[in-house]
Structure 1
Amino acid sequence: MRGTHRTTRTPGARTRRVLAVVVALLALQLGSLVAPAYACGCGAMIPSKDQRIGVDREESAVRWDGRTETVVMRFNVHGDAEHAAWIMPVPSRAGVTLGDPALFDALDRLTEPEQRDRFHFWPREGEWPFTEDHGDGVGAPAPGAAPGVGVVGRERLGPFDVARLTATDPGALGGWLRANGFELPERLTGALQPYVDRKWEYVAVRLAPQEEGAVLDGELTPLRITFASPELVYPMRLSRLAGTPQTLGLYVLAEHRMEPRSPIGGDRPEVTFAGRIERPEGAVAALAGDRPVRLTVLEQRFPHPERIDDDHHLRTVADTPYRRVEYTDRLLTVAGGIPVWLLTVGGGALLAAVTALLAVRVVRAGRRRAGTPAGPDAGVRSAA
């Protein structure tokens, strides 16, 4: 007979296992404190030392007319950081202003999924008879530039301290940023080299709440950046510095439907809306103008940010419209809410009863025509 083997754990072994779990949890917590660097789709966002900041969601609306590109960015952040900084490379001299907070809400309304009803015949869970619940359905002066760095301008815009810079040396650019309150990591220097080689310029932003002692939390005021560009490009390369998966949402307003040329190391970009806006209004018109424009909405995930190897270069594709559809499942009814299945089942039973009754009557009528008595004793009397 096969015996049962039991493993006896001593108190010492259990204690060691508990300590191992505690140590692992502490390591995770300490790791999040000593490496508090996060990235967003437009560049690297870094908090002050010993503070943490996370980007819950980054959205950008991009307008390109073939010559000029405007990027409006909105961040939703959390953490305990009083200050944070990020840098965005741009291909030419940039102008920076505050964006309209109403822009993204207006874009969301324009791109809402189409609502359709989808009917089913048989009742499902939550529908009678499976339930009885019928409820109602200030600018700071720019310090002298270090060798290799040019200061185009520096201004205060709401919660943003903005510096517009040129650079011929990534090391000098990193040194200037750290010397002027933009606490960015040393490893950023190497990541900036491709932009220095292409003679791009930079928008460096330091986020600091205007209230004393306040932390960066919630939805930040959008920032609007405009620059000349012969192609529609969205800077992404610096996001390879991120230590956590990234998500990018892009609203692209242009003459035609626009899509990325490649996934640049992320998942395949998903188009969630593509269509023509005949009459832009309000905040959308302030960005795109009041003439008809094509709007394309893109979503993309970067599970492994270190694989990002380029910026997004968008190209014109066929102007095929697309809108997501959300279905509401409803039970098929008629005549003020009577389920069709009930009528069908009830009608079937009634039809069966009527058919049976008619069959009996036909049989009896046939017997009468044949002269056969219909009573139960008819056969006995005939024999007598």
Structure 2
Amino acid sequence: MNHIILSLFSVVMSLFLWGTNASAFCGFYVGKADTKLFNKASEVVIARHDNKTVITMANDFKGEVKEFAMVVPVPTVLDQDQIHIGDAAVLKHLADYSAPRLVEYFDENPCVRYELMERRSLDMAKNMAPASASARERDTALGVTVEAQYTIGEYDILILSAKESHGLETWLAENGYKIPHGASTVLHSYLKQDMKFFVAKVNLTEQSKLGFTHLRPIQIAFESPKFMLPIRLGTINADGAQELFIYTLTKQGRVETTNYRTVRLPEAQEVPLYVKDKFGDFYRDLFTQQVKREHERGVFLEYAWDMTWCDPCAANPLSADELKNLGVFWQERPNVKQRGGTMPQVQNVFLTRLHVRYDAAHFPEDVMFQETSDRNNFQARYILRHTWTGTDECPAATAYRQQLRERYEHEAQT
């Protein structure tokens, strides 16, 4: 006899029927905390605009496929063309793109920075330059020119030229790039040949090789004034608390819950270097602490971002076709000219990722949502900062070393 799975997705829909400028972040993407860190994890994608809703559901059902059945409450009889089979790969792409992430910085030589600042201060005084120098002035001081910059597929690309290798090496370090020891000699040899430098800011080719085998997602479409997710049926046959990841794709801005507190997870915190090899455990423990802090009643924001870009990227932004696969129906799909042809450009799609750990005792009501006009970016991002270990002496180096102990203590508390 089939086991009827009344999980969040089995239940997913008592819902609705349908027949910014941000400062760039410089750092290396290291890894992410994906949904597979959590047991009994289900995922649902809600694409919604003007009461029209498309919901894609997946879950972590384990066992014989023939023993699986999904129960989904809906407000009306669904026509055949309102029911589809989704693409698990696209949903996984969405999860990877929005996952909590670990990045790393490398401190530069404070004496080099100190000398350059002093030199520039003198130059500015001589030339009556304004007090606040632009990034372009900083590049000039280092003898580096950004000849071109692009966003191409998997990378943010910079094409650099430089007058000397030390300035180029310093520029790269200041902008978050790890430069191996001994690079100056090699850089210099290329500069002598009048070569430029192709620089990729974030490597997006790393793909997660972990993963459970999921049944293909089920997708339904309908229309309703209610923006909600029914979870109560999902607690009936649940063995303990369940993990739910909710991805909303909307046109206006960030989505939040109205009958439960929406909580932003701690972000942009520096963590000890050993976390690099244990980021999954670190993030799972951090999330559990936050759940307890909210007395097991919070809905946690892990990611909120315009779908056209990311910084740093844990995976490529979804393409227009992938978003259409997830139910986004309002794209105008203009064509962007590129070498070799044109490519559809994503427009007006804002992603919100919410993470809920729920049970009947703490989540007695279905989850109600509202779309806001807030398009500010947010990501659960954690930072590894490698210390400078040089022996140079200068006032800036002395101050730097004095600050390290305080930094270590703060990292340990995180």
TM-score range relative to shorter protein: 0.3 to 0.5
Q: Which has the larger radius of gyration?
A: 1
Larger relative CO (CA 8 A, sep 6+): 1 or 2?
2
